[in-house]
Structure 1
Amino acid sequence: MNLLKNTIKYIGLGYLALGIFSCDQGLDLLPPGEVSELIYWQQEKDARLAVNGIYVELDGPLMVKELDGVTDIGFRAPSGPGSLHDVSMGSFDPVNAAIGSTWDRYFRGVQRANNVLANIDRIEQGNPELLARYEAEARFLRAYFYTQLSSLWGDVPLILEPLEVTAQVGRTARSEVVDFVIAELDQIIQGEQLPLSYDQDIGRATLGAAMALKARVAYRNERYAVARDAAQAVMDLGVYDLYPNYEELFHYAGQNSSEVIFDRQYTVGGDTYNAFSFSAASIGGGSIVEPIHNLFLKYGYKGPENPDDPFENLDPRWSYTSYYTGQPIGTSTFNSLPDSPTADRVRSTEFSTVHGYNLKKWVDYDADEGNPNTGSINMILIRYADVLLMYAESKIELNEIDDSVYEAINSVRQRPTVEMPPITQGKSQEELRAIIRDERAVELAFEGLRLFDMNRWEIGEDKIGSVEGLYYFNEESGEWDTINSGLNRNFRPERDYLWPIPQAEMDINDVITQNPNY
């Protein structure tokens, strides 16, 4: 069902109740059912269920794990036409299914939020403070969807109320959409209708999430003073801190920790996914997305580099993010070399790595080994390390380089389990620019943020050319070499900084226009 051509004034629970929040967990399922318009929007629980239906449309593995595969630090493996592999290769068009489904999902979220906001005042039986909170949650979620929509497509339809069946909606300028999102988040923050945290209902929007989202949308649109102040406001809350164990942050142990500001919640028995599908073949994965050599090159060293072992003394975040030859994987050792006898041998099957590395981040092997199909590690959408780095970069771009810039960067680099050498003071703006860009790459790899960074920095052309993978010692040549699949990627700067409006939308909406050069 397409948002721009369908009535969304009333939605039955069979449509909304794809997921609800239970009292003390995250996203859970509710059996499908119907609620008559005659009784719907009468009680407090009606608003709760309707808001829960918006959370269902939040980003999951596709836009968190997989999206980095279209950038200069990852590779999205082939899987037939219409996937993000085509985006990775630079060969996508308006009929790309992955792009179309993402557009549709975000607008379903907008649709559901608008439905709540148009109807919640009809409820006469309920706690006014709680109903005000539900309204703020709906507005926050709509702001999140519009942050993503404007970041990926630029000018998009700004729809703030339910539509009639015959509605035709054109595009609103990206700058106006961003103005709306910032103003909306300001009202939510100033109204203080969202709590700082939840004793139950964990995973719902908070005041800190609204502040952090404001920083993100401003940062992505180079409104650095706004981003700086919003990030500072998050820091000043005193609610968030860096989780000490970087690897566990992306395991079950790190869920709902003090570093997580906002996430997509999953739960066993409710909303789950295949925990290993993006990773190595030997643990049942399909190598859907892979780290590549360009990411490896961004990791610094804690000590002297060993020419005989380039992985020795490397930033520990590399080994927490990637499976590489010689690293333990389950009860075995990962080996993707061309002569490997294991299932992980490079390009040995359709499920094996194409370039020699596999994704380790988001894999909690011990916990999910028995049944990876019920994986339920929450997908972190905003975390405190990102806020610190947004703050530091915003200050750098404003040329406000002071102690707080170094403190923000070094707190991320020096968390326990990482403990990289601090960045020393006295750097120029250009030097700090290069440092923060690499720091974001290694800290936030495969969290769905790299594409937005590359677009903002206008470095899309960095991914052009042949993709290099595993760095290994080639016995035949006697030198260190990389696995090269021969796959050459393209990027058209006059076109590819924005995704195309889906062709299905163009076909039914007479007033919408396409992005340039599609």
Structure 2
Amino acid sequence: MKTKYLLSLIAILVVMASCKRYLDVKPTDFTTPETYYNTEKELDQALTGVYSALNNRGTFSRNLVYEFAHGSDEGFYKRSAEAVNPRVYNHDASNALVAETWSALYAGINNANLLLANIDHPQMDEKVRGRIRGEALFLRAFLYFQLVHLWGDVPLILTPTLSGENVNNPRTPQKVIYDQILSDMTTAEGLVGNIKDFGFPGRVSKTAVQGILARVCLKMAGEPLKEVSKFTEAKEWADKVIKSGTHKLASGYAQIFINHTQDLYDIDENIWEVEFTGNGLTDPTKTGGWFAKKFSVRNTSSELYGYGEIGATATLYLKYDDIHDVRKNRNIATYYFRTNGSTMLSDTLQYAPTAIYARETGKWRIQDETSTQRSPDFGPTNFPLLRYSDVLLMFAEAENEVNGPTQVALDAINLVRARAKARNFISADAPSKEALRRIIQDERSRELCYEGLRKFDLVRWGIFMDVMKDVEADILSNAPSNMQYSAYGYTNVKVRNLLLPIPSIELSLNNSMRQNPGF
């Protein structure tokens, strides 16, 4: 949300409410539901509290796009010292990051439940009330979408949790949760506003709902539910976004990610994004986000501090099948920072063309920040939850699964490739549905790498373990000796890592909860 929405967080009932267990959130603030939710302004402030679940460190500030999204065949943990971490698949149910994300998602859901339970209290314009209801319904469903694809069966709670009376919450079957997600999102689609009415992508809009519904349906069509009829629905939802005429591809690929860092809004390409403001140095209410610093090329100077903790795989590097494809040199850094003894400088040196195992990610870059005072940990870079190019590729995938291979699907892919200055695919490249499926799978990686989608895609396609072991074999066979350590996570990964473990603290407090297999 924009700064004016972020500042209102201090007035919200339960955003930072203290809790001893994650599915039993008891507010401790001075405000209660009986004295809140009585005006349109208070409802809108409460909605901001629901949005705040998105820029939490446990969600899209860090964990959902950094800790749990890698490693994959796009990125690996670029540290030679062994660590216990989800990125290298040696974590267990006691891992603090797992508990942090579980807690953050359920806290956001409880905020949404409180708002929805009290939304009819004030006298107000019914259209505004409907818009707030729609955004809250969608956000609750979106948070459940994160839970269910990360943990599988989880407790489905649709009413506010205000006391310790209901402490045993059994796991709800995934099918039931997905049906609820579809119901809430479909209702929301008819209530929320149009992105052009408010002019920035930080708020849920009609096309954002439609695009995320396409993503949900593609997941349901794949593993583990395999409801293949959902491919048709995915195609229909993606087609609604396309036919709305609201969005189009930005002319320059690199500029998309520069805009994320410089608080420049492009609602043509960016349909929905999580907004981060500032870096906490000059204004404590503008704390920024973590993820961009973790992805940035390593530099330990105060001006350009980046952790460089995610390395780009040679697997991704070699996926760029056209030497003219501009995405490769944006997504995978061509450079590293020069050092003078132990001091890292601001000028760069270029990697040799053969150095394809040591590179870091380059999609978001510290150099693009406009602030003259930069934090080593936090930055203003917004995170994209849905871009128009993703919608085009989801449409192509669903079209291929329903009717493929077709020219319609190829046309959608080629729009994305034309912007990247890569050659068009022709029908001879995709003589079968299987061949076009492989093209789409690779194209999603080329276009959307590091945007928190790749592991999700590999799992729903049912190819996660095979792909991970292929990357391991490539590193052990072809990487130089000083990069052999990068196979660590690919060696560790097991079938159990298709899901995260239920946090130990939740198991200890919830007698109805059962652990995921393998943990």
TM-score by length of 1: 0.81
1:299 to 320, 331, 339: 320
Equivalent-residue separation in structure 2 for 1:73 and 1:202 (angstroms): 26
Distance 1:384 1:327, change over 3 A: farther
Which residue of structure 1 lines up, in the alignment, with residue 308 of structure 2? 287
Equivalent-residue separation in structure 2 for 1:199 and 1:394 (angstroms): 30
Tell me by how many angstroms 1:466 deviates. 6.1
Tell me by how many angstroms 1:375 deviates. 2.2
Distance 1:277 1:90, change over 3 A: closer
- Equivalences for 1:124-273 in 2 at 5 Å? 124=123, 126-163=124-161, 164-167=163-166, 168-189=168-189, 191-199=190-198, 203-222=202-221, 223-252=230-259, 255-268=265-278, 269=283, 270-273=286-289
| 1:64–1:381 contact (8 Å) kept in structure 2 | no
Which residue of structure 1 lines up, in the alignment, with residue 516 of structure 2? 515
Distance 1:171 1:66, change over 3 A: closer
Which residue of structure 1 lines up, in the alignment, with residue 438 of structure 2? 434
Which residue of structure 2 lines up, in the alignment, with residue 356 of structure 1? 358
- For 1:414, what is the secondary structure of its paired residue? helix
Tell me by how many angstroms 1:370 deviates. 2.9
Equivalent-residue separation in structure 2 for 1:334 and 1:284 (angstroms): 17
Equivalent-residue separation in structure 1 for 2:277 and 2:335 (angstroms): 32
1:60 aligns with 2:53: no
Equivalent-residue separation in structure 1 for 2:371 and 2:306 (angstroms): 12
- For 1:484, what is the secondary structure of its paired residue? helix
1:334 aligns with 2:349: yes
| 2:218–2:231 contact (8 Å) kept in structure 1 | yes
**Code of the aligned partner of 1:286:** Y
1:113 aligns with 2:108: no
Q: 361-370 or 455-464, which moves further after superposition?
A: 361-370
Distance 1:446 1:136, change over 3 A: same
| 2:138–2:185 contact (8 Å) kept in structure 1 | yes
1:316 aligns with 2:329: no
| 2:201–2:267 contact (8 Å) kept in structure 1 | no
| 2:201–2:272 contact (8 Å) kept in structure 1 | no
1:459 aligns with 2:463: yes
Which residue of structure 2 lines up, in the alignment, with residue 36 of structure 1? 31
Which residue of structure 2 lines up, in the alignment, with residue 477 of structure 1? none
Equivalent-residue separation in structure 2 for 1:208 and 1:220 (angstroms): 19
| 1:55–1:141 contact (8 Å) kept in structure 2 | yes
| 1:463–1:491 contact (8 Å) kept in structure 2 | no
**Code of the aligned partner of 2:186:** D
| 1:54–1:109 contact (8 Å) kept in structure 2 | yes
Tell me by how many angstroms 1:220 deviates. 1.1
Residues 152-211 of structure 1 show CA distances to partners (whole Å, capped at 9, x for unaligned) of: 11111111001241212111111111111112122222x334334333675111111111
Tell me by how many angstroms 1:325 deviates. 4.3
Q: 200-209 or 43-52, which moves further after superposition?
A: 200-209
User: Aligned-residue CA RMSD in angstroms?
Assistant: 3.0
| 2:8–2:45 contact (8 Å) kept in structure 1 | no
**Code of the aligned partner of 2:503:** P
| 2:199–2:267 contact (8 Å) kept in structure 1 | no
**Code of the aligned partner of 2:147:** L
Residues 487-510 of structure 1 show CA distances to partners (whole Å, capped at 9, x for unaligned) of: 432355542211111111111111
Equivalent-residue separation in structure 2 for 1:202 and 1:445 (angstroms): 20
- Equivalences for 1:363-512 in 2 at 5 Å? 363=365, 365-368=367-370, 370-373=372-375, 375-415=379-419, 418-426=420-428, 427=430, 428-461=432-465, 462-464=467-469, 465=472, 468=475, 483-485=483-485, 487-488=487-488, 489-490=490-491, 494-512=495-513
Residues 68-126 of structure 1 show CA distances to partners (whole Å, capped at 9, x for unaligned) of: 42212111245999x8x6323221211122222111111111111001001111123x3
**Code of the aligned partner of 2:138:** F
| 1:243–1:257 contact (8 Å) kept in structure 2 | no
Tell me by how many angstroms 1:411 deviates. 0.4
Distance 1:45 1:160, change over 3 A: same
Equivalent-residue separation in structure 2 for 1:151 and 1:384 (angstroms): 22
- For 2:496, what is the secondary structure of its paired residue? coil
| 1:278–1:289 contact (8 Å) kept in structure 2 | yes
Distance 1:366 1:211, change over 3 A: closer
- For 1:332, what is the secondary structure of its paired residue? strand
Q: Which residues of structure 2 form unaligned runs of 5+?
A: 13-28, 55-59, 222-229, 339-343
Distance 1:243 1:298, change over 3 A: same
TM-score by length of 2: 0.80
| 2:202–2:272 contact (8 Å) kept in structure 1 | yes
Distance 1:314 1:292, change over 3 A: farther
Equivalent-residue separation in structure 2 for 1:35 and 1:236 (angstroms): 48
Equivalent-residue separation in structure 2 for 1:484 and 1:265 (angstroms): 37
- For 2:272, what is the secondary structure of its paired residue? strand
Equivalent-residue separation in structure 1 for 2:510 and 2:486 (angstroms): 41
Distance 1:424 1:201, change over 3 A: closer
**Code of the aligned partner of 1:290:** G
Q: Which residues of structure 1 form unaligned runs of 5+?
A: 1-19, 302-312, 338-345, 347-353, 475-480
| Number of corresponding residues | 457
Distance 1:200 1:333, change over 3 A: closer
- For 2:271, what is the secondary structure of its paired residue? strand
